Each structure stands twice: as C-alpha cells, then as structure tokens.
Structure 1
Amino acid sequence: MVESEDLQSLKTIALLGGCRGPIRLSSQSLGKELGISPQTASRRLIALERQQFIVRSMKPDGQYVAVSRGGEQALKREYADYVRIFNPEQRRYVLAGTVISGLGEGRYYMSLPHYKERFGEYLGFEPFPGTLNIRLDTASIEVRKHLDHAGWIEVPGFTADERTFGGARVLPCRIGGQKCAIVEPSRTHYPEDIVEVIAGCELRKVLDLNDNDMIEVEIAHD
C-alpha cells in the first residue's frame, strides 16, 4: 500500500506535469508546493524513487522528475477508489499487471464454434481463438476482490459430440482502447493473480505486446 504522504507527493508531481514527461523540480520547490521542509521533500522523492513511482535525472540546470508507469497506475487506482466513493453508480476499476504466456487451452476453447457463437451473442464480438494472460500486481489482486458485482455476464455451457462443455462468466473491459472481456471458466479455479482476456482481435499483435510487458485492464460498471 502506498503511504498517504508519498501519494500526496506523487499527486503534486503529476499536477505539475510529471505525467507528461520530466519536469524541473528541486526539493525546495516541491517542499514549497507541499508546505513541508526541503529535507522532508527530499526524503519523499527518495521514497517515491525507491518504489519506482518516479524517475529522477540530473542535468546542468537542475533535477528533473517524471512520473513512471508504476506511479501512474498508483494514481489511477486512487482515482478509481474516489469514483467508487463519490459516484457509485459509475464504478471504474483498473487492473494492472504483466503479460505472460498461457498453456494454449484458451486457443482450443475459443476456436469451438459453439463458444464463439455464444460469446459473440453476449459480448458483441466473436473472440479471436486465444486468450491474453495477465499476472496482476499486488494492488490489483486486491481490486479484483471487488469485482464480483461489477457486471459479469453468465455464458451457459453446452453438450456436443457426447461431451459436456462447462459455462463461463465474462466481464466486459478495455485494453488500450480495444473492446475485450475477462473470462473465467466455471470449471476452472484460477490463481487470484492471473486473469485471461478475450477480444475480437489478437491483442498481442494489435497492441504489440510481449511477455513481461506492463498492461492495464479498464473496467467500467454502470
């Protein structure tokens, strides 16, 4: 969990433009913005850098600071919490993690005609034969625990060729602007840190993703 003092400092850096790129920022100027001493501000910067929430560099004209991808994710999670507090009718969740390789089972199931038809009917797109596997970071594992009432759609199972195929539940979401859905087969117990995502396209190719790339899944629930 991010300490409140660190989050306050991170937010201030972002408001000064740190999410758009490196900004010139000294301990004195940050301290003035926060109403704290330069020494305390320096400790805050060190703490943020240690947590990989900011990137610092020294140039001839002074220190430059930029909010990192991890820092942006921390701010987005804080934003999602405030949305849930002040606008509970429109809840927005963000899951963050890294892309990993799966076992190939998703490709088989997403290629079955009945599953393709059912998912197309419930989600509005015919899934690409394969899934994108994501290992969630620690904070997102906690966010995931709040998703049980986030708008899951139950997709029933079916029987074909004397074989029974289980149902699943899907949760519409977006990755990089691409419409997709988290899928959880009813017969499979997934580790709490892994999610599988289906989409109407090959997300790895469309978004140029490789294993270990950082990624965010945005979920909005009316």
Structure 2
Amino acid sequence: MVEPEDLQSLKTIALLGGCQGPIWLSSQSLGNELGISPQTASRRLIALERERLIARSMRPDGQYVALTPRGEQVLRREYADYVRIFNQERRQYTLTGTVISGLGEGRYYMSLPYYREQFSASLGFEPFPGTLNVRLDPPSIQVRKHVENAGWIEIPGFTADDRTFGGARVLPCRIQGQKCAIVVPSRTHYPEDIIEIIAGCELRKALNLNDNDKIEVEITHD
C-alpha cells in the first residue's frame, strides 16, 4: 500500500517528466513543488526508491530521478480509480462460463517475482500463484468483445536469465464479490472462449469451485 504522501510525490515526479526518462531533480526543487522542506522531500525520495517506485542516479550536475515500471503501474491504478469515480456512464457486463482445468502454466508465471510485483502494483492485491480457467458460454464470447477497449491495464514484459518474458493485459472484475482480474498474456495460446482469472487467493477454495461449475464474472466498463 503506497502512503498518500508518497503517492503525491510520485505523481509530482511524473508530471515533471519522470515517466519519459530520468529528470534532474533535487530535494530542494521537489520540496518547492510540494510545499515541503528539502529534508522532508529527501525522505520521500528515499521511501519511493525503497519501494522501487523510482530509480535514482547521481551525475556531475546532480541527482536524476525516473519512475520505474512499478511506479508507473501505481499511477495507472490510481488513474483507473478516478475514471471509475467520475465517469457518468458505468455499464456492467457479466460473462458466464464453466470452470475448467488449465495446463498449469499459470502457476509458474504467477510465481515469478516480477509478474507478482507488477500485478500487485496494478491491481492492489498480490496474486495467488495460479489462475482460474473459465470456458465462456457462446453469448459471453460476444459480450467479451464489447470490453476489449475497457479499462485494461498493460503489464510490460521483461528479461531475466537470458530469457524474455512477454507482457500481459489485466482487466479488474469480480466473482461472487471476490476482487479478481482477467489476465491475457501477450503470447497466449488459448482460444477466445477461454479466459484466465487471477486473484489474491485461490479462487477454487475460496469460492468452493470445481470443474464444470457455472460462474459469473462481473466487469464494470467505464
């Protein structure tokens, strides 16, 4: 959970150009932007760096600061919240389908630290290492197409141990009131009638679900 004062500082750095790359930023200049002392601004920068929301480097002419992908995701989540608050047209979509067994790949990918950090920053929960797989009913396949331009959040790919991992898109939703999200890897092999869902818990146990159970996935399209 990002503290309100840290979120304010992160937003200010982004407004100064910190999402586009490293910007020159002193504790004095940040303090002037926020109306706080240089000492307090320095502590906030340290806190943001400790949470891996920014990256700092020193050059001959001073300190340079840039938002990390994790920091950008925190702001994207904040933006999505405000869109939901102020948008006048809120449309509720419901996808229905049947619980099925997956191939086990979701457990592997959801256990990778980078993905877990990005999903946690974007969705507000640390994902359980595994996915719930749902085969959509035919009418819901058409409904799904209506939310293709909804509030999807982009998760960038990364490289580790000489291996490249693709990015993904996530769309917040709920199942029986449980906060979760549809995840679509950029390198997916699933057909359009199957979706994968992540949550902060094991949905099968939390909701007492078994293969062939019918469920409803609620999506609010802002």
Q: Common fold, TM-score beyond 0.5?
A: yes
The ranges of structure 1 where at least 4 consecutive aligned residues each deviate by more than 2 angstroms after the TM superposition are: none
Gaps of 5+ in 2: 1-86
Tell me what 1:143 maps to.
143
What are the Cα deviations for residues 168-203 of structure 1, in whole angstroms up to 9, with x where unaligned? 000000001100000000011421110000000000
Tell me what 2:126 maps to.
126
How far apart are 1:221 and its partner, in Å? 2.0
Q: Distance in 2 between matches of 1:205 and 1:103?
A: 18
How far apart are 1:149 and its partner, in Å? 1.2
Could you say if the C-alpha distance between residues 116 and 123 of structure 1 is closer, same or farther in structure 2, counting changes exceeding 3 Å?
Answer: same
Q: Distance in 1 between matches of 2:197 and 2:116?
A: 14
Tell me what 1:212 maps to.
212
TM-score (norm: length of structure 1): 0.60
Gaps of 5+ in 1: 1-86
Greater Cα radius of gyration, structure 1 or 2: 1
Tell me what 2:182 maps to.
182
Q: Distance in 2 between matches of 1:106 and 1:151?
A: 22
- What are the equivalent positions in structure 2 for 1:92-131 lying under 5 Å apart? 92-131=92-131
Tell me what 1:197 maps to.
197
Tell me what 1:25 maps to.
none
TM-score (norm: length of structure 2): 0.60
SS of 2:148's equivalent?
helix
- What are the equivalent positions in structure 2 for 1:1-222 lying under 5 Å apart? 89-222=89-222
How far apart are 1:89 and its partner, in Å? 1.5
Number of residue pairs the alignment of both structures matches: 136
Contact 2:147 2:221 in 1 (8 A): no
Percent identity reads 79
Root-mean-square deviation (CA), in Å? 1.2
